[in-house]
Each structure stands twice: as C-alpha cells, then as structure tokens.
C-alpha cells in the first residue's frame, strides 16, 4: 500500500503528464490552423477566431469544472474531460468547411479546462508550504504548447495536417488510461457540506478575485494568445517556412511551461506579491521594445538623403520573446500562490474563476490581434495591445498592494519612533 506522500507524487506526475497532453491538443490549431487558413483563404481576423475557438470552451468550462472538482474530487472530473474530447479531436481530420473547424474546436477546447481540475486536485495532496511548488510542477504541463510546435509540423510535412488530429486522439486515449492507473481518490478532498451554487459564487463579489483575474489574463491569457499567434507571426513578419517558424515560436512556449515549477518555488520562498510585481515589470519592458514596428527612416542631411532601418532582428525578437516566456511562466505560478494562500477551502471554485478569466484573455486576444493587424496593417500592434494590459495590471497592483503596504510600513515606523521618544 503506497504511503500518502507516494500517492501525492504519483498524482502530481500523472496529472502533469495528462495536462501536458491536454495542452498539446488545446494548442493544436496554432500549427494545423496555418494550412487550413491557406486552404480556405482566411483573413487574419478569421484565422484569429479559428485558433481561439478551443480556448473559448476551455475557458468557460473552467468555473463549472472547478466547482465539480470541489464536490466530487479531481480524479473523476479530470478523467471525464479527457474522454469527452477523444472523438471531436479525431473528427477534425474530416472537416472541409470553416464552420466544421469552429464547431469541433469548441468541443476539443474542453481539454483546456483540465487545468482548473488538476491544479486543485494536485494542491490538496500537499501541505500549504509546498502547494506553490506542487502547483508549479503541475502547471509545467503548459510545455505542451511547445511540444505541439516541435511535433505537429513534422507530422504535417510528412503526412499532411489531417494526420495530426488522428495522432492526438490516440494519444489522448492512452493518456486517459495511464492517468486512471496512476492516480488516487481521497475522500477528504471532496466537499463535506451541502453544495450551494449561490454560496460558491459569492467569490465573484470579492474584489481581490477580480484583481487576480486581471493578473492571470495577461500571464496566462497572454501566454496562450502568443503561443497560438507566434508561428503565424514568424511566417508573416520574417518569411520562415512552417517548420522553422514553429521551432522559433517554441522558444517562447517552452520556458512558459517548464519554468512554471520555478515560479512556484519562488512564490513559496518570496511570496506571491513580490514575484508577480517583478514579473509584470519585466513583461512591460520587453513588450515596449516588441511594440516598435519595422521602420524605414529617411533624414535629409547636407550631403543628401540618409536612410536608416529601425526594427528588431529575428535574433533580438526571439530573445525578447524567450524572456517574456520565462516571466509569464513564473507569473502563472505566483498568481495561483495567491489563491493557495488566501482561499484554502475553496481552491476549486476560485481557480475556476481566475482560470476562466485567464482563458478568456487567451480567447479574445488572438481575435483582437487579427482585427488590429487587419485594421492597422502593423503586425507589432499585437504587442502594443499587450503592453496596455500589463500596464493596467501594474497600476492596479500598485494602488491595492504596494501603496497600502508602504503606508502600513510608514505608520509602523512612526509608531516605533514615538515609542523610542517616549522612552
């Protein structure tokens, strides 16, 4: 009979692997969407809707599956989500019309809701001082976005894009079986009181929850949006083929998954606020440089016209994207450390709300990316938009966390000085 500790790590390993596969499938349209776009002659906005469609259901279902996880436990809910996606994944290969892919994408998107289930399921197996690390390890399953960019293009080149959903459907079936074999139920993790939807949704009145939603809409929603968009961006902006573009795009997606565990460790050690604050600042600086479009500048001098080209080379661009990938990875873990610290008894529903907000960011941002490019003709407008979102998050954090903390520290300092004078 395995010990509780052995069960905890077995659950973590199996859940992380399963979430990795779910995320691979959730990001599938980032690769197969490009040949579909070419076949159907889609514009940028239509392409944005196509790749974002799985993100919609993966986001909307995060709240209800989070509630179900609190009631029934994570094992059965996680298993049910994986089984529900197998046939829709397979049938994508038979699609011929734009609406076919949109509808099937909605069903496939259920795989994205697995995050809320898994994060609550894993966290409850660990004491509070280890939950950040455990959730960070599980969240490393985001690396599935990078794996799709490394694996799917090779399948497309060798066998055509329609083979990708077939392979992924088989992979999901095997993953579901392995998950059930290596995970466990714990009755203590299930809701031991009568369920009340109204009581669970009271969290929506909590302004702190809405603030965490804003943070997560950029560190996770922005990550998902860019993971979906970057392959297409490399092709359009720098002229790479699909395989090379996907490989370069993986430089952003890879750290965004693997280093989430590091973010959990930092959050346990330094606190969620400190880590998130620096994540947002690093992201803001990188997005400032990424926002500058390729520019041809002509200056009239005494010797005649002098031309300059201002813009990011593919090397500098990739380094900046890699840096943002690291920042977002750490930030995704630090935001959920807030939840583990402040909402111990209803992690499922709070994770669902925050995860829903982050996922909706991942849904709306690609569509807005496409619309901005169609309207302005400037590809870097996607980074201008994200710069604004990060700026809003920083301002919100300053007024609700940094400013009150500085005020408290100042009052404590004055109280200490008064006490010293009185003595």
Asked if residues 263 and 340 have their Cβ atoms less than 8 Å apart, the reply is no
Residue 348 has pLDDT above 70, yes or no: no
Asked if residues 112 and 58 have their Cβ atoms less than 8 Å apart, the reply is yes
In whole angstroms, give the CA distance from residue 53 to residue 76: 25
Q: Could you tell me the pLDDT band of residue 195, with boundaries at 50, 70 and 90?
A: low
| Fold of the domain spanning 4-190+209-295+308-422 | Growth Hormone; Chain: A; (1.20.1250)
Number of neighbours of residue 292 by Cβ within 10 angstroms: 13
Q: What is the DSSP letter of 305?
A: E
**Domain definitions of the chain by residue range:** 4-190+209-295+308-422
Report the mean per-residue pLDDT for the chain: 85
Identify which has the larger pLDDT, 339 or 222: 222
How large is the average pLDDT for residues 311-325?
Answer: 92
Q: Could you tell me the pLDDT band of residue 411, with boundaries at 50, 70 and 90?
A: low
Give residue 268's pLDDT.
Answer: 82
- Long-range (24+ apart) CB contacts under 8 A made by 341-347 are 341/128, 341/272, 342/208, 343/203, 344/128, 346/70, 346/200, 346/203, 347/70, 347/119, 347/120, 347/123, 347/124
140-154, 326-340, 398-412: range with lowest mean pLDDT: 398-412
Report pTM: 0.76
Q: Which of 194-203, 286-295, 396-405 has the highest mean pLDDT?
A: 286-295
Q: Which of 25-29, 85-89, 263-267 has the highest mean pLDDT?
A: 85-89
Identify which has the larger pLDDT, 339 or 84: 84
Give residue 161's pLDDT.
Answer: 93
Q: Tokens for 70? A: 């609190």
Give residue 314's pLDDT.
Answer: 92
In whole angstroms, give the CA distance from residue 253 to residue 239: 20
Q: Could you tell me the pLDDT band of residue 410, with boundaries at 50, 70 and 90?
A: very low
Q: Name the nearest CA neighbour of 18 among 104, 87, 105, 117.
A: 117
Give residue 190's pLDDT.
Answer: 67
Residue 189 has pLDDT above 90, yes or no: no
Give residue 165's pLDDT.
Answer: 95
Give residue 279's pLDDT.
Answer: 93
150-164, 169-183, 350-364: range with lowest mean pLDDT: 350-364
- Percentage of the chain modeled with pLDDT above 90: 39
Count of alpha carbons within 13 Å of 209, Cβ hemisphere only? 19
Give residue 388's pLDDT.
Answer: 93
Q: Could you tell me the pLDDT band of residue 416, with boundaries at 50, 70 and 90?
A: low
The 3-class secondary structure across the chain, one letter per residue, is CCCHHHHHHHHHHHHHHHHHHHHHHHCCHHHHHHHHHHHHCCCHHHHHHHHHHHHHHHHHCHHHHHHHHHHHCHHHHHHHHHHHHHHHHHHHHHCCCHHHHHHHHHHHHHHHHHHHHHHHHHHCCCCHHHHHHHHHHHHHHHHHHHHHHHHHHHHHHHHCCCHHHHHHHHHHHHHHHHHHHCCCCCHHHCCCCCCCHHHHHHHHHCHHHHHHHHHHHHHCHHHHHHHHHHHHHHHHHHCCCHHHHHHHHHHHHHHHHHCHHHHHHHHHHHCHHHHHHHHHHHHHHHHHHHCCCCEEEEEEECCEEEEEEECCCHHHHHHHHHHHHHHHHHHHHHHHHHHHHHCHHHHHHHHHHHHHHHHHHHHHHHHHHHHHHHHHCCCCHHHHHHHHHHHHHHHHHHHHHHHHHHHHHHHHHHHHHHHHHHC
In whole angstroms, give the CA distance from residue 369 to residue 182: 41
3-state secondary structure of 379: coil
How large is the average pLDDT for residues 31-41?
Answer: 92
How large is the average pLDDT for residues 377-395?
Answer: 92
Give residue 343's pLDDT.
Answer: 77
How large is the average pLDDT for residues 151-170?
Answer: 94
Please list the residues that pair with 298 across neighbouring strands.
307
Q: What is the pLDDT of residues 87-103, one digit of tens each?
A: 999 999 999 999 999 99
Q: What is the pLDDT of residues 387-408, one digit of tens each?
A: 999 999 899 888 888 777 655 5
């Amino acid at each position: 009979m395995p010990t509780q500790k052995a069960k905890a790590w077995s659950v973590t390993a199996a859940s992380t692997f399963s979430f990795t596969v779910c995320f691979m499938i959730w990001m599938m349209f980032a690769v197969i969407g490009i040949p579909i776009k070419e076949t159907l002659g889609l514009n940028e906005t239509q392409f944005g809707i196509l790749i974002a469609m799985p993100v919609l259901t993966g986001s909307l279902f995060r709240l209800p599956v989070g509630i179900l996880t609190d009631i029934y436990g994570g094992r059965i809910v996680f298993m049910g989500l994986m089984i529900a996606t197998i046939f829709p994944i397979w049938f994508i290969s038979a699609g011929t019309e734009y609406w076919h892919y949109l509808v099937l994408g909605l069903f496939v998107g259920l795989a994205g809701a697995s995050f809320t289930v898994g994060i609550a399921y894993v966290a409850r197996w660990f004491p509070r001082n280890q939950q950040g690390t455990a959730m960070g390890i599980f969240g490393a399953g985001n690396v599935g976005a990078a794996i799709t960019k490394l694996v799917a293009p090779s399948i497309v080149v060798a066998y055509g894009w329609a083979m990708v959903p077939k392979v992924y459907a088989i992979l999901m079936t095997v993953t579901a079986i392995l998950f059930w074999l290596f995970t466990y139920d714990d009755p203590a993790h299930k809701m031991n009181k009568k369920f009340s939807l109204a009581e669970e949704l009271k969290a929506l009145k909590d302004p702190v929850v809405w603030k965490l939603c804003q943070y997560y809409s950029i560190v996770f929603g922005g990550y998902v949006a860019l993971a979906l968009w970057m392959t297409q961006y490399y092709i359009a902006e720098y002229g790479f083929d699909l395989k090379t573009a996907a490989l370069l795009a993986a430089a952003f997606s890879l750290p965004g998954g693997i280093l989430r565990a590091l973010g959990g460790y930092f959050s346990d050690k330094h606190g969620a606020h400190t880590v998130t604050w620096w994540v947002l600042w690093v992201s803001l600086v990188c997005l400032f440089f990424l926002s500058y479009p390729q520019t041809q500048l002509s200056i009239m001098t005494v010797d005649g016209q002098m031309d300059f080209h201002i813009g990011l080379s593919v090397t500098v661009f990739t380094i900046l994207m890699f840096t943002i990938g690291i920042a977002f990875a750490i930030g995704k873990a630090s935001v959920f450390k807030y939840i583990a610290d402040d909402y111990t008894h209803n992690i499922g529903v709070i994770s669902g709300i925050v995860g829903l907000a982050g996922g909706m960011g991942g849904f709306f941002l690609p569509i807005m990316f496409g619309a901005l490019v169609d309207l302005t003709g400037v590809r870097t407008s996607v980074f201008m938009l994200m710069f604004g979102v990060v700026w809003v998050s920083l301002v919100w954090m300053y007024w609700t966390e940094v400013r009150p903390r500085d005020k408290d520290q100042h009052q404590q300092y004055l109280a200490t000085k008064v006490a010293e004078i009185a003595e």
